[in-house]
Structure 1
Amino acid sequence: MLKRIYILSDGTGQSALNIMKAALLQFEDPQVKFTIYSMVDKLDKLKAILEHARVDRGFVAFTTVIREFRDTIHQFCHEHGILHYDILGPPIDKLEIFLGRKATESPGVLRKVDEKYFKRIDAVEFTLSHDDGKIVVGLDEADIIVLGLSRTSKTPTSFFLAQQGFKVVNIPLVPEVPIPEEVFKVDPNKVVCLIMDPEVLQKVRTARLKHYKTQSKYNDMRKIFEEVEFVYELIRKNRRWHIVDTTNKSIEETAREIIHSVFGRDMEL
């Protein structure tokens, strides 16, 4: 039987949708349909939506920063036996206690086009132009310089970091190709080398080669061991560079480790 999940928000509703989708991954073939109501800014509009949820016997998940709206949803749902989940209310309440001040209850704050937004745009453009060693000038402007063997997730990790506002240069490491001299002239703390377990790297490269008809030694284990040793030798010679093992890690995990290595664990995004 198809069940309906109502998403209510005074913003876009994307945060609530993402959380509910993540939770639903824990259920095999959940028969649900989302109904999303964004920019809910009037009480009468809110009550009309809740009435629809009551008729459909739906589940209500909501993100609203206005306490009156949250209280209205709680009261209505309790009165009519509607399962509901307040995503923003509890953390806002706890933070009010922790910070010793009242929340501003300003809907849409996350949508503000501010300097952080423009910083991210600049970072993405910079990272795009410096992807895979396309350009090696302007390395002083980079926040992070990623060096890595082929298929160690250089590009996706770099773009994930760019979306967090970091300007990233990523350069492929190939033993037969000299590393650009510019890399050795920048702050060594910016430089991060990506590494991967040789057997895992071989599997990744083998999967990649299935799309091509070639006799390349790209996935030859002996060659991969030589490449990995090449990276460790680079680290031994450049001891202020960082090394991050990407074996079986998500892009998010790798990016977080890079940020911790370069900026420390207290880095504020």
Structure 2
Amino acid sequence: MIVLRFCPLCGNAVKPENKFCRNCGASLRPDLSGTDEAASPQRLLSGRFPRVSLSGIPSRNSLIAVAGLVIIILVIISIGYPLLMVPGTTAIAGTLSSPATVQSPAGGPGDYPGGSYVIVETEEPTPLPATEPLITATTIIPKTPVTTLQTTVQVTKSVFCAADRLACNNTCIDRRTDNNNCGYCNNSCPTGTYCLNGNCALTCSAGQASCIDGCFDLLTNPRHCGSCQNSCPAGLICSAGRCDSPVTPMPVPQ
């Protein structure tokens, strides 16, 4: 006698060894449905099939929620799996612990019935040194008196002089008559001389003029007649500062 089974959901005939209906995919396990019982030929001929309760079938929204939850779990596992596979680290509650020490048993790998085992050694916490009350020390550093030095800075301004003047030592001078800058800057005339037309000349007594080569009477000196270095021609004399012929004819040098 052949015993047939029927799907509690669609009524399709199934083999006794099948766990799911090949027509609708419903579970055929007795622990999930109380209606999964063998059908006799009389029940098959009469057309009566087991009643199926649809209250245990999950709704579409529930299936979508379950699928979304499964996807989230798979994403979390794919992200955390590489961290779990890092050699020498063990992930516990989201934190990485120190590498575990792996030791073989004392008798060798072949002496342990399981083949191998792992001993996890943890370091003992380092004892904290005995604390002593802290002493707060205040160091007083005496202030060094600050000495203020006044420095005078001389600012040199540009001097613009007239055409007949010369700028020397930030001052406009007349180089023709300045005894300290006679002819050019810082050219001082020696004692007994003075600056005359840019040259240091001798200081002469009254009635004499100072020339380069000495003091002379410009009214009568034929070499400096009327002015220094003005020599009268041969045969002429200097009279009143002019070169004139003598009253008595003078012999002409042969």
Query: Taking structure 2 as the reference length, what is the TM-score of the superposition?
Result: 0.24
Structure showing greater relative contact order (alpha-carbon pairs closer than 8 Å, 6 or more residues apart): 1
User: For the pair shown, which has the larger CA radius of gyration, 1 or 2?
Assistant: 2
